[in-house]
Structure 1
């Protein structure tokens, strides 16, 4: 066998090995620029490299947040449009992550920015932020058929704003809707109200699956702007980012109630433009919490999580090497962390030490216009 043929065979074998070991990475994006919608990439968990070209591109308007069903056969996306154009879309997923459109329904609110599925997979809960419109943001419950098709929303909830910040809190701005790990409650973080609203969930009620819990909300500091909420696997503790004050809050969870136990700053700066708390994720083993701070900071913060109490201890502050880390994700192997830098149009892949939780060198910066969310198929 001559040298050229050997080289070709070796390259082919390497490509086959890559394909066999590759994970599927789905990327949501904003489409005001060159982005077309949802992108499907191959990700190599050995090297941390994303394929230079997407395997598939699905045209969709501003699919800024992605949701996977429990069996990973369905994909849902919010279409973050204003002026009455907000939508929610569903897609089927093939054996290798192939995406095919299924259905679409109105979000009944402007700028839908977050969604989640009930644990019984019967409802998609959609948070509409409503950046500039009256009467402001809202929460809706969208029935999901067994085949993944979406029905018109059966319930809509609106909250009263705090009005502390006359520009950003004049109306409600629901930023996320997150079920409890046991599926009994839903938590809606409202940046405009400075509250997390708590609802009981009853999937058997076809017209009102959500009813206010007792207590119906937990208050946060005036002008703090709650954004994203996250529970640990056991549902004993929860973590919340405060966008406007640039903080992370740790709660104990008791019968659906959130009891604040700790609040830590994400920056030492007093300047408002350095405070922009964003995404929050736990490592698979629950030992480390990762939080993004956007604005002029553009960092990922790493905290160690105490096993018994859930309390946080600062570990590391790491630049995202870009602008506006809208979302980030830990890869299935736990050895890499990927950041969607929306305004610098790139996905940055960093090495991660699973034992120490720390973030190491950057292994890739992949150009992509306005990435906003990252989800792995496992």
Structure 2
């Protein structure tokens, strides 16, 4: 199905939405987002039918898109995969290039190397055997994917007998300088650091020095982000509902303050996605579970330390991911279990979140990305 947009204005952007497809959703949806009114168009401009595209990765020039297919045992497709697409720079029409197996179950995250020649994928793997893994695969000049060239597995911590019986890699992120790759393993309570040799197409990742960042037992590291100046990094600890701050030094991460997302004596949450504002002044963190809110922090520009300034309900259930629109005036929250994207006003100067301007119905949204080129 393809419906072309008309009268697109300078204040609107293309919005890509990844979904889980066990219900009524069919794959990746392309909408128009009006950043003047904060509204998603009523009908999609394009639907790309693909299984469980739960995480979307755009190339730097936005000419190519990579979607992990979060497949695994018990699903219609039992094989974890990544699908590559081309994006027409004039029309933004998305066309599939190819599909590659990830050599693991339930891939949940992917990122590109700085030069775009490698795609790193996190195989979460719900079942502890054989458990999760991080893999690297090549990217061809036309944007299509090459087979996996390297797979890395890690021992689990077993602190939580159920959730940490095996490795569960939740994200694989490159440092902004492109020299290091960080693998956050929820099942191991560690972030593993690799030195990247992009020229080595057979075995591009080697252990860095140091090669491991130890996190508190049972904390469950999930997603990692760096600030624009590569001075600090922030990591969500899913199982303890916390966010950790690091000082970045020559590839290493020195653990600083760990901040609780849950209120003392309140319901237990589960830390999820986190994003910095474009100016780096504010950090937004989702807390799921029984809490279902975004926690807003002001970032100290001198130390990178966090100061909580707001807690805001997501007006839904299980905020899997969220994104700040290119104008900075709205936050779009993908509430997976309540089947909606909630659009919330944002004050660019204060970082505070305001009223809900739209609740957009869509089954099992999992990720949102904007096209700005």
Picking from 331, 334, 355, the partner of 2:325 is: 331
Q: CA deviation at 1:316?
A: 0.2
Separation of aligned partners in 1, 2:312 and 2:155 = 37
The yes-or-no answer on 1:306 pairing with 2:300 is yes
Which structure's residues are more often helix, by fraction?
1
Q: How does 1:222-371 map to 2 (within 5 A)?
A: 222-269=217-264, 274-371=268-365
The 1-side partners of 2:289 and 2:134 are apart by: 26
State the shift of 1:269 in Å.
4.6
When the two structures are superposed, what TM-score results if normalisation uses the length of structure 1?
Answer: 0.94
1:17-56 matches, within 5 Å, as 18-56=8-46
> Tell me, which stretches of 5 or more residues in structure 1 are unaligned?
1-14
2:86 to 92, 109, 113: 92
C-alpha distance after superposition, 1:29-60 (max 9, x if no partner): 00000000000000011111110111100000
For 1:226-253, what per-residue CA distance to the aligned partner results, in whole angstroms no more than 9, with x for missing partners?
A: 0000000111100000000000001000
Per-residue CA deviations over 1:302-346 (Å, capped at 9, x if unaligned) read 000011111100000000000000000000000000000000000
Q: Give the alignment's TM-score, normalised by structure 2.
A: 0.95
Distance 1:148 1:322, change over 3 A: same
1:150 aligned to which of 145, 148, 151: 145
Q: What are the ranges of 5 or more consecutive residues in structure 2 without an aligned counterpart?
A: none
Compare CA radii of gyration and give the structure with the larger one: 1
Corresponding residue number in structure 2 for 1:3: none
User: How far apart are 1:275 and its partner, in Å?
Assistant: 2.2
| CA–CA distance in structure 2, aligned partners of residues 96 and 302 of structure 1 | 36
Q: Which residue of the partner structure matches residue 190 of structure 2?
A: 195
Question: What is the CA–CA distance in structure 2 between the aligned matches of 1:263 and 1:123, rounded to whole Å?
Answer: 32
| Cα drift, residue 17 of structure 1 | 5.3
Tell me the distance in 2 between the aligned counterparts of 1:367 and 1:180: 35
Aligned length: 363
Contact 1:18–1:44 (Cα < 8 Å) also in 2: no
Instruction: Give the ranges of 4+ consecutive aligned residues of structure 1 lying more than 3 Å apart after TM superposition.
Output: 15-21
